[in-house]
Structure 1
Amino acid sequence: MSNTATVRNPWSDPETSSKMAVKALIPLLVTFILGTLCLQGFNLVFAQVGEDVGAPAQASLITAIPGLVLGIVCFIYGSLGDFVSLKKLVVVGLVTLFIGSIFGFVANFIFPANLWTVIIARVLQTAGEQVAGSAFLVVASKYLKPELKVVFFGLFTAGYQISASIGVFAAGILSSIAWQYLFLIPAVTIVFLPLLLKNLPDRQGDGEKIDWRGFLIFGLATAFLTLFFSYMAWWMLALAVVLFIGFGVYITKADKPFITVDFFKNTRWLCAIALILVFYFPQYIISPMFNAIGASVYGMTTTQVSMHIVFAFLVAAAFGICSGGIVGKLGIRVVLPIAGTLMAAGYIASGLAVNSGFIVLTLCACLYYAGQGLMYSPVVSTVLGTLSQDESGRGVGMNDLVMNVSPSIGIALFSGLMSAQAFSGFSVVGATGAAASYSNIFLLAGLVPILGLLVFFAFRKRIYAD
């Protein structure tokens, strides 16, 4: 006669799993913040780095290649959360982040700095730190109590905005000392490994083999789509379309694809993801627009502009932190349109105030970023609420993908309007030349969140149907 002991899985109990999830989410959030801080820092000083390594013409690759990697791994990591152990995924991510950090510093500080050692290190860091961001969202969506989800989604977007603002200052300070020290900022996150090993679930999914072929096809399609909006090479778009069509055929024929046709037949999810597609479309344009206005209209330097814009980042962080409590009191269906209204008002006010002084423009930017900080928690909760728990990892992956691709398309289109000085021949506020162009582009951007509000009110009954 044999005795069998049943070991209870703590992740099967909602109360226990929620408590363990909170313990894991804090170090994951700190890791994501430090990794994003490093990313934002290099985005600011990449031109200086290019000069220092003797390759100023190729300096943009320092941000472009890691940005491409980020766009791909955002989707893959989130989706893998439905199939593989989050514990193993995070171990690989933190170790990769640490190796990239140390390699980047040693190879470019101890030894002569080189463009490709910088790029390789940044790719390793980007691939590593995004594990923390994706794992955070998967754990929050799968294991937290419903009332805690909106709180931690709000903290996530607040963390991003805080890291963006600190990254600007850190890069400014370190660029005058040695930019190589930026590599070391996220290296400290390796100390979180024991805590994460203790508090992350060891197994995900049902033990099926990972559909690497499907991930490869979808990843390549996403890569070429992202590259197209960076370089506007039409053959890249054509290849992306062919690959996406091939992926569609593949998931109808494969035995066990990582994502099925039924996933895309979920009309509630399609309506909800459309909100992210529209609301996030103009997200990336405000910083370059303010830089352009500061330089051409007010004669300001980039540093002076950043000293103003940083307050808008802090407003976004504050609203992100408070968004969970606001959603808890007012509800998702009320807060989401409020956030969209603030975003639209910020852009429209900027268009009307282009000649009213840069402090007034900064206040308009704060209005937009208040909406952006408030938007993340309710819109992500809305989209993930249309999926089952077993699909939440792929839902996180698709969210990240749309949040990266949509604003990339937006910045490509709006940048073209900016460089062409489009709409400079007329102005509703009496501006002329470049100021008229920027005013009208802001007004055009303000129509996008209004379109998002129309989508929301048109489909909200369908999206929130039980």
Structure 2
Amino acid sequence: MTTIARDLNAEHSLTQSEKKKIIFLICSVLLFSVMNGTMFMIAIPDIAASFSLLPSQVSWVVTGYIILYAIGALMYGKLADIYPLKTILTIGLCLFATGSIAGFFAPNFLMVVFARMIQATGAASIIALVFIVPSRYFPEEKGRVLGIVSSTMAFASGIGPVIGGLIAGALNWQFLFLISAFVLLTIPFFGRFLPKEEKQEGKVDLLGALLIAIAVAALILFITLFVWWYIIISFVFFGLFTWRIFHSDNPFIRPDMFRNAPYRTTIFAGFLAIMTMFGMMFMLPLLLSEVNDLNTLFIGLTLFPGAMAAAFTGRFAGSLADQRGGKQVAYIAMALMIAGFLLLSTFIGSPAWVISLVVIISYMAFPFLQTATASLISAVLPRNEIGVGMGIYNLFNFMSGAFGSAVIGKVLDYESGVRLNPISAADGHAAIYSNVFIGLAVLTILNVSYFYLSFKRIKV
């Protein structure tokens, strides 16, 4: 087993064989983590039927998971700056597997929700650490590894609904829990192949962690449920957290991180970009169901080519990030997003196979976007702050995804008698989908302009 000091270049301490094993392991558990979320989205109607639940009740299967997943990504990122990754990941995988086994045997809905929340506390360690591993263990080829990670996420997002639909249909939705329990098999291999690290000086501000956790939980509840008193709670606790980080000797997040202009720009531009991407992903199943009249399985199959295209382009995005830098990859990502949104706006109302081809362009933007933002963050932050920096990045990703889905869900409730895209084939209710895609394209144009003008003044 390789032993490294945190301040050394870990890449030169690992053999090529060890590097390949680490990449394979982190992608394996990432596959389970991402699939776990997408599979259960498909199973929501079956869970509701099993326990005779209203939509507002069964939504806690997703909402409870998202809240702890988002908070956990931030917490694990902070812990990774102090504790060895091997220790953190082992604890996270054990929690993930425990929640999976508990969910399989859950006798009632309350236990299902509880099991999902345990799953989330463990799965969050995976999403947090897979973006830290490339910067810590592969500093000279982190773009390539980040590209592989992004490809795995895209592949899992595409295959998850298909596998979830098949398993829930052929067996039972509870067997979806059992699939995730297989992460237990990876723990001995992580213990063997991850480098042994030394614990660093420092401690976690528990009060600060509690304040930010409550603030984030209330904000996500507001975004998903639109209950106004949640936003009041969120503002109060964000205010208390802000006071805490300026008055604590060892704050949970150092205030000067947000004075780092490249980091601040990347986080904000990434927030807007992920918001539009998740908005698109939320909208496409609704579009294919309402306009093309497809069932769940065929919706998954229609979107599958886009996810596979994204998986195959991830490696290219990573290599390009190593050669040209994260900024150039970000420009490519946003160009693909603009082109994809405009084409989707134009071809709404066409046969499903046409939508399947067009959506490939938008989906290909995802690995470019993930690789670019993660590469930029690791480049502009000191090594001892990359963990919490990535944690904040992941937290903003989850909030932007929830916000984008919630806002677009409200917009789709309205009818539109005007087509903003004059060459669109959409008519009737389909016109609102066309108009929303035009709006996403305009927002992306504004975002890329902000990103360009901000970095024009920054040397990175």
- TM-score, normalised to structure 2, is 0.92
Structure 1 residue 305, shift from structure 2 partner:
2.1
Distance 1:429 1:252, change over 3 A: same
Report the Cα distance in structure 1 between the residues aligned to 2:226 and 2:432, rounded to whole angstroms: 23
Counterpart residue number, 1:160 = 153
Q: 1:290 to 1:379 in 2, by over 3 A?
A: same
Structure 1 counterpart SS, 2:132? helix
Q: 1:131 to 1:25 in 2, by over 3 A?
A: farther
Over 3 Å counting, the alpha-carbon distance change for 1:412 and 1:18 in structure 2 is farther
Verify the 8 A CA contact 2:263 2:380 in the aligned structure 1.
yes
Confirm or deny: 8 A CA contact 2:154 2:308 kept in the other structure.
yes
Moved more, 225-234 or 297-306: 297-306
Task: Work out the CA distance in 2 between the residues paired with 1:308 and 1:197.
Answer: 40
Distance 1:233 1:260, change over 3 A: same
Q: Which residue of 2 aligns with 1:266?
A: 260
- Cα 1:332–1:267 change in 2 (3 A) is closer
Q: CA deviation at 1:331?
A: 4.0
- Does residue 89 (structure 1) correspond to residue 83 (structure 2)? The answer is no
Does 2:417 align with 1:424? yes
Q: 2:180 aligns with which of 181, 186, 194?
A: 186
Aligned equivalent of 1:404: 398
Deviation, 1:92, is 1.1
Q: Is residue 21–residue 139 contact of structure 1 (8 Å, CA) maintained in 2?
A: no
Q: Quote the residue 2:347 is aligned against.
A: 353
- For 2:3 and 2:48, the matched residues in 1 are separated by 55
The one-letter code matched in structure 2 to 1:35 is: S
Alpha carbons of structure 1 residues 8 and 186: separation in structure 2 relative to 1, 3 Å: closer
- Tell me whether 1:317 sits opposite 2:316 in the alignment: no
Q: Is the 8 A contact 2:4 2:197 kept in 1?
A: no
Give yes or no for contact 2:92–2:125 (8 Å, CA) kept in 1.
yes
- 2:68 corresponds to: 69
Task: Name the structure 2 match of 1:446.
Answer: 441
Summarize deviations over 1:306-358 as a string: whole Å, max 9, x none.
22111111111111233222334544333221111001110111111113333
Structure 2 CA distance for aligned equivalents of residues 8 and 153 of structure 1: 23
1:131-185 deviation digits (Å, cap 9, x = unpaired):
1221222222223132x21111111111112112221122111112122211121
State the Cα distance separating 1:78 from its structure 2 match: 1.1
Distance 1:293 1:87, change over 3 A: closer
Change (3 A) 1:341 1:204: farther
CA contact (8 A) 1:224 1:239 kept: yes
- Counterparts of 1:4-403 in structure 2, within 5 Å, are 9=4, 12-19=8-15, 23-57=21-55, 58-105=57-104, 107-108=105-106, 113-146=107-140, 148-176=141-169, 177-203=171-197, 206-403=200-397
Return the offset for 1:201: 4.9
Give structure 1 stretches of 5+ with no counterpart. 1-6
> Secondary structure, in 3 states, of the residue corresponding to 1:208?
coil
Identity %: 24
Match of 1:434 in 2: 429
Shift of 1:230: 0.3
* Pair 169,306 (structure 1): closer, same or farther in 2 beyond 3 Å: closer
Q: Is the 8 A contact 1:92 1:128 kept in 2?
A: yes
Q: Which amino acid aligns with 2:276?
A: P
The 1:201/1:357 distance shift into structure 2, 3 A limit, reads: same
Native 8 Å contact 1:251 1:259 kept in 2: yes
Could you tell me which amino acid in structure 1 is paired with residue 174 of structure 2?
Q
CA contact 1:279–1:452 (8 Å) conserved in 2: yes
Separation of aligned partners in 1, 2:427 and 2:53: 38
SS for the counterpart of 1:83 is coil
- AA aligned opposite 1:456: F
> 1:3 maps to which residue?
none
Q: 1:28 is matched by which residue type in structure 2?
A: I
| SS of residue in 2 equivalent to 1:186 | helix
CA contact (8 A) 2:77 2:388 kept: yes
How far off its partner does 1:14 sit? Answer: 3.5
- Determine if contact 2:418/2:431 at 8 Å carries over to the other structure: yes
**2 CA distance for matches of 1:318 and 1:40?**
20
- Cα drift, residue 10 of structure 1: 5.6
- Classify 1:424/1:70 alpha carbon distance in 2 versus 1 (closer, same or farther; 3 Å): farther
Deviation at 1:401, TM superposition (A): 0.9
The one-letter code matched in structure 1 to 2:152 is: G
Where does structure 2 lack aligned partners over 5 or more consecutive residues? Answer: none
Post-superposition CA distance 1:352-376 (Å, at most 9, x none): 1113333222222111111122221
Note if contact 1:95-1:190 (Cα within 8 Å) is conserved in structure 2. yes
2:310–2:365: 8 Å Cα contact kept in structure 1? yes
Deviation at 1:205, TM superposition (A): 5.9
Q: Judging changes above 3 Å, is the alpha-carbon distance between structure 1 residues 289 and 81 closer, same or farther for their aligned structure 2 residues?
A: same
Please give the TM-score of this superposition, normalised by the length of structure 1: 0.91
1:75, 1:50 → 2: CA distance?
A: 31
Higher mean Cα deviation, 199-208 or 122-131? Answer: 199-208
Mark the CA change 1:300 to 1:13 in structure 2 (over 3 Å): closer, same or farther: closer
Change (3 A) 1:138 1:295: closer
Contact 2:99 2:119 in 1 (8 A): yes
The one-letter code sitting in structure 1 at the alignment partner of 2:165 is G
In 1, Cα distance between equivalents of 2:89 and 2:245: 28
> In 2 relative to 1, CA 290–94 (structure 1 residues): closer, same or farther, beyond 3 Å?
closer
Once the two structures are TM-superposed, the CA of residue 207 in structure 1 deviates from its matched residue by 2.5
Structure 2 counterpart of 1:4: none
Contact 1:78 1:394 in 2 (8 A): yes
Secondary structure class of the residue paired with 1:192:
helix
